[in-house]
Amino acid sequence: MTIHVGNMPTKDNPDNLALFNKQVAAFQKLHPNVTVVGEETKFDPQTFAALVAGGSMPTTMQVPYTNIQQLALNGQVRDITDLVKGDVMLSKLNPAVAKQTQNAEGRTFGVVSAAYTMAFIYNRALYKKAGLDPDAPPKTWDEVRENAKAISRASDAAGFMIATTTNSGGWILTTMAYANGSTIQKREGDTVKATIDAGGVKDALTFLHDVRWTDQAAGKNFLMSQDDMRNAIAAGRIGQTVLGADLYRDLVGNRDMPGADLGIAPLPQSAAGIGTLGGGDIAVASPKASAGEAAAAMEWVKFRYLGRFLDKQAAVEWAETSKAGGLPVGAPEVPLFSPEIYDRYLSWVSGYVNVDRANYKAYFASLGTLPILGEPPVAAQETYALLDAVTQQVLTKQDADIPAALTQLQTDAQALIDATQ
């Protein structure tokens, strides 16, 4: 049989592509009856529905955590519960990570291929310029604010700013709400309630408003997509922000940021903070694939994304190819398996590590202590879109009425939830 697999590295990334092709050959040797055809197709929320409907979705591809529940609900990804039942490799996965692939009824819709947590991202070079210690990242939001002031006094960069468009604003606001002590949705039995009017969102919005208006330390550009944000960080125009800790590979590998300038630290917590938001990629199977094709595709997923953590040869090959291509080895990531398994993997690749892991000590330590919370269970993307607007409002309107906005948001967010239930 033939399976089509998405997320094949593009030709402008020859080293990654070479590794991919090596893996395809090795996989086909293990499974002589399967032919693997790589496709460059990547998840794009704006084309995915058409891709599935048109029958051009590959047998397997990766989707973000954020979308999996909605896609499962829509029947746009295959229920693979029966195909992965009793799988040895998957049973070793970190339970919190594995849970992300299941819906409320416990049905499984994919295999986790990568995970990250939202973290505090800062520019170490700008810290030095502002007379701050890059090895002592802030632990509280008050410290973040002080540092933002110092950075914007010392340079042209924004002291603290977040992405605010294309649903990233809502995603980051949700993260900051967790750090300030409340989620934005709560499951009560069979129903889900919006909890935007709890204190966390208010504190996060007030923080943004104060950095922007009281301290004038948020720069000048308040409409940024995550992509804009990544470019701005890589170009040294952002002092501090909140984004996924997995961006090292992209910023240093693709956007030419000097790795030594990129600071990644645990998400600061208020006294009431309940943790940080976790995210990642889940490899799913096409709803139009046969059971046999879907099963083969999941074998491939395990081989490509999880193999390096459990198999020494796979780990060394991956590290060798990455390093030769100038890609990071040892960049911050959330271990998908137990810490022991991850440490064993690190010892296998230790000769190839080209990331200054000492800079990220605090972040690595936090992975074992700071709780990792999931995304809102229902209508996550619509809720994020709704929250985008309010992050933009507090950053562009000095007299923004935050309590009134929260009351309205609570109503609208509940309506979005009710529409899906």
Partner 1 sequence: MPRSDTLQGAMTRWVRHGGAGKLLFTAPLLIVFGLFAWWPILRSLVLSFQRTNLVADPAWVGLRNFSRVLADPLLVTAAWNTAWFTLLALVIGFPVPVLLAVFVGELRRTRTIASVLVYIPIIIPPVVAVLLWKQLYDPSEHGLLNTVAGWAGLGPFPWLQGAETAMPSIVVQATWAGFGTTTIIYVAALMSVPPELYEAAELDGAGVLRRVWHITLPQLRSVILLMLILQVIGTFQVFTEPYVMTGGGPDNSTITLLMLIFKYAFVVGDFGKATALSLMLAVFLTALSAVYLRATRGWKRS
Residue ranges in contact with partner 1 by CB under 8 A: 45-50, 52-54, 70, 74-76, 156, 164-167, 219-223, 225, 287, 381-382, 385, 388-390, 392-393, 395-397, 412, 415, 419
Q: What are the C-alpha distances in Å from 234 to residues 144, 224, 257, 281?
A: 20, 14, 5, 23
Least CB distance to partner 1 at residue 42 (A): 15
Under a CB-based contact definition with an 8 Å cutoff, are residues 348 and 312 in contact? yes
Pick the closer one to partner 1 by CB: 165 or 241: 165
Min dist CB 308 to partner 1, Å, is 33
Minimum CB–partner distance for residue 226 and partner 1 (Å): 11
Using the minimum distance from each CB to partner 1, give the nearer residue, 164 or 269: 164
Q: Are 197 and 390 in contact (CB under 8 A)?
A: no
Please give the full DSSP string across 150-178, using - where no structure is assigned.
HHHHHSSSBSS----STTHHHHHHHHHHH
Q: Which is nearer to partner 1, 111 or 390 (CB)?
A: 390
**Which C-beta is closer to partner 1: that of 1 or that of 415?**
415
Q: Name the residue type at position 15.
A: D
Instruction: Tell the burial category of 341 from Cβ atoms under 10 Å away from its Cβ (0-12, 13-18, 19+).
Output: middle
| Nearest distance in Å: CB 301, partner 1 | 21
With beta carbons less than 8 A apart as the criterion, state whether 416 and 385 touch. no
Residue with smaller CB distance to partner 1, 74 or 214: 74
Minimum CB distance to partner 1, residue 421 (Å):
14
What is the DSSP-derived secondary structure letter of residue 266?
Answer: P
Q: Which residues pair with 285 in a beta bridge?
A: 60
Which residue, 282 or 409, is less far from partner 1 as judged by CB? 409
Whole-number Cα distances in Å, 235 to 53, 154, 231, 297: 39, 17, 6, 39
The structure tokens listed for 275 are 């943790």
- Minimum CB separation of residue 243 from partner 1 in Å reads 18
Strands 240-244 and 185-188: unpaired
Beta carbon nearer to partner 1, 264 or 416: 416
Beta-carbon-side half-sphere exposure of residue 233 (alpha carbons within 13 Å): 33
Task: Write down the least CB distance from residue 388 to partner 1, Å.
Answer: 7
Q: How far is the CB of 145 from partner 1 (least distance, A)?
A: 21
Nearer to partner 1, 219 or 273 (CB): 219
Instruction: Name the maximum alpha-carbon separation found in the chain.
Output: 66
Nearer to partner 1, 101 or 393 (CB): 393
CB of 196 to partner 1, least distance (A): 14
Nearer to partner 1, 62 or 117 (CB): 62
How do the residues of the chain divide into helix, strand and coil, expressed in percent and rounded to 5?
A: 50, 15, 35
Give the angle subtended at the CA of 119 by the CAs of 391 and 94, to the nearest 5°: 120
Helix or strand (DSSP H, E) at 21: helix 14-30
The DSSP annotation for 308-364 comes to HHH-HHHHHHHHHHHHHTT--SS-----SS-HHHHHHHHHHHGGG--S-GGGGHHHH
Query: Minimum CB separation from partner 1 for residue 404, in Å?
Result: 13
